[in-house]
Amino acid sequence: MPKTAVYVLLLALTIYGCSGKSASAHRQMDEVEYQLDEQWPELPPGYILGQPTGIGIDSKENIFVFHRAGRKWTTPFPDSLISANTILALDNKTGKILNSWGANLFILPHGLTVDKDDNVWVTDVALQQIFKFNSAGQLLMKVGVAREWGDDSLHFNLPTDVAVADDGSFYVSDGYGNSRVVKFSPSGTYLFQWGTHGSKVGEFDIPHGITLDHKSNVYVADRENNRIQVFDSAGIFLKEVKNNESVSQLPSVTIDHSQNLFAIDYDFTIAPNILEKGSTILKYNDADSIEFHLGATGKKERTTSWFHDISVDSQGNIYVGDISRSKVLKFKPKTSANQNSSTK
């Protein structure tokens, strides 16, 4: 074969290979393998869900939701306790309410997490406190001084979320008023803290959500900096995981059973009028690049929504709390959804 022909053949193969790889990568970004479960949750007739600000999952795959029961964030904060139950346990398949509690305990619900022993931890930004309950709703611990803000070892300033290690020690993202992460012993004794306000490494602009991986590394949703910062259990900075879109916020982060990293973002403009562009779910690959965006309809596009918290169960179902429409959304992997529909 003439050299010219060989060159042309090699060039064609190179172009074909590159275009094939590019098309595959493009399909991976475009083809989101999830769909919205529009029948979930199945709440009682007439039941009104408040803004669902916190979501967690226990060892039985029950979904726990912390909601505001008709109350919204106002300045100044309301002074009275919410008279309705604010913590719901939902069946992960049907979305029916299995249990509820929390009446007359909270002013302004925010974050929720469930630890390995199925204890439920929540934060109240108005009360400036962290609460720990057992799975039946019995109060086990309170940390922070009620209605008093501060930046010392005894006080918080609008704390947002909690992450609990396997040994029972826990981390608090604190929060709107403070720009720090605080670590406590299992009994609630202050251990240490890190972080100041800013956009540099180790600084935060509203640490809004927090979670741990299987190595006890700490992942912080640095909301206004539109990024995730990762630290070891001693608070030493490890890396930054960016959202590659120029949006307003990255409010929450979670890690699934396979150690896949998920987050949610939110975008809006305020000039000339407030325009809510909406939220998406982000899934990251091992290289900390985004695999896909998933919007409120189950497609890539942003629509009216404001995702506040995210959790993923062992089957890969994704749950988010949409505070714009006061809804909890469940997204199923398409293979799982198809299998379920074929068995009905």
3 state DSSP class of 122: strand
- CB under 8 Å to 174, separation ≥6 — which residues? 156, 157, 158, 159, 160, 180, 181, 182, 207
Interatomic CA distance for residues 295 and 305, integer angstroms? 8
The residue with greater pLDDT, 25 or 322, is 322
Is residue 5's pLDDT more than 70? no
Query: Which spans in the chain are helix H?
Result: 3-30, 334-342
Q: Omega of the bond prior to 207 within 30 degrees of 0, cis?
A: no
What is the arithmetic mean of pLDDT over 274-282? 93
Q: What is the pLDDT of residues 217-257, one digit of tens each?
A: 999 999 999 999 999 999 999 999 999 889 999 999 999 99
Largest CA distance in the chain: 87
Looking at the predicted structure, is the pLDDT value of residue 10 above 80?
Answer: no
The set of residues, in sequence order, having a beta carbon less than 8 Å from that of 304 and lying 6+ positions away, is: 276, 278, 296, 324, 325
Query: How high is the mean pLDDT of the chain?
Result: 90
**Does the model's pTM come out above 0.85?**
yes
Average pLDDT over residues 115-138: 98
Question: What's the confidence (pLDDT) of residue 314?
Answer: 97
Predicted confidence band of residue 27 (pLDDT cuts 50, 70, 90): very low
| Res 106: pLDDT | 98
For position 2, what pLDDT does the model report? 45
Per-residue pLDDT tens for 83-103? 999 999 999 999 999 999 999
pLDDT higher than 90, residue 75 = yes
Nearest one of 218, 154, 207, 211 to 176, comparing CA atoms? 207
